Amino acid sequence: MKKYLTIALLSVALFNCKKDEHLHPHDDNELITRVDLIFTDSANKSTTFSFQDKDGDSRTNPEKFDKIVLAKGQTYTLKIEVYDDTKSPVENISDEILEEADVHLFVFKSNPIGLLTTTLTDKDKNSLPIGLESIVKTAATAGKGTYQVILKHQPELNGVKMKTGREEGGSTDIDLSFEVEVQ
């Protein structure tokens, strides 16, 4: 009886350990060391706020993490530029995100809600939002909080599209919480 139990357990272990390459996405995340948020107001004046972590190691403090300061009751266009500074020359990851737009999505969260309201304006080939370009409206009253910028990487998994236009699914390439002040 012990012999049959051992054989049965080994069989289960062997079949369960079978590696199935189709269960994992083959689309790797990019190394991102710098993110520039370029806000342009109605007078066409642009201001850039940046995050930079030159070595790309999230365990060390970034070299730069700007506080976003915007005027109350205003509408801005927002353009995001993403880079890998470890490459020479510096690699513009924004180009890759645009080329692979059908598997990328920026998500923006304001805390408190309503301090900044973001509407994504660019679309991929499936008419789903990307978020490299957006419209941002500031609250009518002054306030402080955070502005979370998330880049989701949502490649197909087992033949199923992961990108639906929502945050759920995929992995996270960027998750930054900028301090923000509306004045």
Tell me what the mean pLDDT of segment 76-98 comes to.
Answer: 94
pLDDT tier, 6 (very low <50, low <70, confident <90, very high otherwise):
very low
Is pLDDT of 4 > 90? no
Name the least confident of 7-16, 33-42, 117-126.
Answer: 7-16
Q: Is the pLDDT of residue 131 over 60?
A: yes
Higher pLDDT, 4 or 169: 169
Summary mean pLDDT of the chain? 85
pLDDT given at position 61 = 87
The sign one gets for the Cα dihedral 29, 101, 165, 67 is positive
At 160, the pLDDT band (50, 70, 90 cuts) reads: confident
Distance CA 167, CA 151 (A): 9
Residue 66 burial class via C-beta count within 10 angstroms: exposed 0-12, middle 13-18, buried 19 and up? middle
Domain map (residue ranges) of the chain = 30-182
How many other C-beta atoms are found inside a 10 Å radius of the C-beta of residue 42? 9
Average pLDDT of the residues in 101-106: 94
Quickly list DSSP for 64-115. EEPPEEE-TT-EEEEEEEEEETTSSSPEEHHHHHHHTGGGEEEEEEEESTTS
The predicted structure's pLDDT at residue 20: 37
Higher pLDDT pick, 117 / 22: 117
* Secondary structure percentages of the chain, helix, strand, coil, to 5: 15, 40, 45
Q: Taking a C-beta distance cutoff of 8 angstroms, is the pair 32, 83 a contact?
A: yes
Q: In degrees rounded to 5, what are phi and psi of residue 98?
A: -65, -40
More confident: 160 or 114: 114
Q: Give 4: exposed, middle or buried? Use CB within 10 Å, 0-12, 13-18, 19+.
A: exposed
Average pLDDT estimate for 42-63: 91
